[in-house]
Amino acid sequence: KLVEGESVRKKLHNTILELKGNIRVFCRVRPLLFDEAAGDEPKAVSFPTTTENLGRGIELLQHGQKHSFVYDKVFVPESSQEEVFVEVSQLVQSALDGYKVCIFAYGQTGSGKTHTMMGTPGNDDDKGLIPRSLEQIFECRQTLQNQGWKYEMQVSMLEIYNETIRDLLTTSRTGSTDSRAKQYAIKHDANGNTHVSDLTVVDVHSSREVAFLLNRAAQSRSVGMTQMNEQSSRSHFVFTMRIMGVNEGTEQQVQGVLNLIDLAGSERLSKSGSTGDRLKETQAINKSLSSLSDVIFALAKKDEHVPFRNSKLTYLLQPCLGGDSKTLMVVNVSPAPSSINESLCSLRFAARVNACEIGTPRRQTSVKQLDARLSYG
Ligand code: ADP
Ligand code: MG
Give the ipTM of the model, two decimals please.
0.99
Residue nearest to atom 23 of ligand 1 (CA): 30
From 115, 127, 329, 331, the mutation candidate for ligand 1 (largest count of ligand atoms within 8 A of CB) is 115
Computed from CA positions of residues 205, 209, 211, 215, in that sequence, does the dihedral angle turn out positive or negative?
negative
Q: Is 107 annotated as a binding residue?
A: yes
Does residue 377 register a pLDDT over 70?
no
Dihedral sign, CA of 129, 130, 134, 135? negative
Percent of the chain whose predicted confidence (pLDDT) is above 70: 80
Whether 213 and 157 have beta carbons less than 8 Å apart is answered as yes
List pocket residues of ligand 1, CB cut-off 6 Å: 30-31, 33, 107, 109-115, 229, 332
- Give the model's confidence band at 67: pLDDT under 50 very low, under 70 low, under 90 confident, else very high: very high
What percentage of the chain reaches a pLDDT higher than 90? 55
Task: Determine the pLDDT at residue 308.
Answer: 95
H/E stretch holding 367 reads: helix 366-376
Looking from the CA of residue 79, the nearest atom of ligand 1 is: 23
Average pLDDT, the chain: 82
Q: Which ligand is nearest to the CA of 267?
A: 1
The count of other CB atoms within 10 Å of the CB of residue 17 is 10
Closest atom of ligand 1 relative to the 232 alpha carbon: 4
pLDDT digits (tens, 9 = 90+) for 122-164: 888 899 999 999 999 999 999 999 889 999 999 999 999 889 9
- Write down the pLDDT at residue 229: 47
Query: What would the DSSP string read from start to end of 210-276?
Result: HHHHHHHHHHH--B---SS-TT-B-SEEEEEEEEEEEETTT--EEEEEEEEEEPPP---HHHHT--H
For position 264, what pLDDT does the model report? 92
**Ligand 1: distance of its center to the CA of 258 in Å?**
23
Q: Tell me which range, 18-32, 94-108, 232-246, is most confidently predicted by mean pLDDT.
A: 94-108
CA-proximal residue: ligand 1, atom 12 (nearest) = 112
**112 known member of a binding site:** yes
Expressed in angstroms and rounded, the spacing between residue 7 Cα and the centre of ligand 1 is 42
The Cα 293–Cα 86 span in angstroms is 26
pLDDT at 8: 59
Q: Is 68 annotated as a binding residue?
A: no
Residue 43 pLDDT > 70, yes or no? Answer: yes
Which H helix or E strand runs over 14?
A: helix 2-20
**Of 204 and 55, the one with more pLDDT:** 204
pLDDT of residue 243: 96
Distance CA 351, CA 67 (A): 12
Closest ligand relative to 110 C-alpha: 1
CA of 127 to the centre of ligand 2 (A): 14
- 205 Cβ neighbours under 8 A, 6+ residues apart: 153
Q: Is 73 assigned to a binding site?
A: no
Contact 341, 320 (CB under 8 A): no
* pLDDT given for residue 181 in this prediction: 61
Distance 117 CA to ligand 2 centre (A): 9
Query: Ligand 1 atom closest to Cα of 33?
Result: 12
What is the distance, to the nearest Å, from the Cα of residue 331 to the centroid of all Cα atoms in its chain? 7
Q: Is the pLDDT of residue 320 over 50?
A: yes
Q: Are 74 and 56 in contact (CB under 8 A)?
A: yes
**CA 30 – ligand 1 centroid, Å:** 7
pLDDT tens digit string along 264-289?
A: 999 876 555 667 777 888 888 889 99
Confidence of residue 52 (pLDDT cuts 50, 70, 90): confident
Q: Is 192 left (phi over 0), alpha (psi -120 to 50) or beta?
A: left
**Gap between the Cα atoms of 289 and 314, Å rounded:** 9
C-alpha 5 to ligand 1 mean position (Å): 43
Higher pLDDT, 97 or 13: 97
Q: Of ligand 1's atoms, which has the minimum distance to the CA of residue 117?
A: 6
To the question of whether residue 110 is assigned a binding role by annotation, the answer is yes
Check pLDDT > 60 for residue 354. yes
* Residue 116 labeled ligand binder: no
2-6, 155-159, 249-253, 369-373: segment of lowest average pLDDT? 369-373
Distance between Cα 112 and ligand 2 center (Å): 7
Can you tell me the distance from the alpha carbon of 184 to that of 182, in angstroms, rounded to the nearest whole number? Answer: 6
Q: How confident is the model at residue 330 (pLDDT cuts 50, 70, 90)?
A: very high
How does pLDDT run across 204-256, given as a tens digit for each residue? 999 999 999 999 888 877 554 444 444 447 889 999 999 999 999 899 999 99
**113 annotated as ligand-binding:** yes
Nearest alpha carbon, ligand 1 atom 21: 30
Contact between 315 and 97 under an 8 Å Cβ cutoff? The reply is: no
Residue 64 in marked binding region: no
Which atom belonging to ligand 1 lies closest to the Cα atom of 262? 2
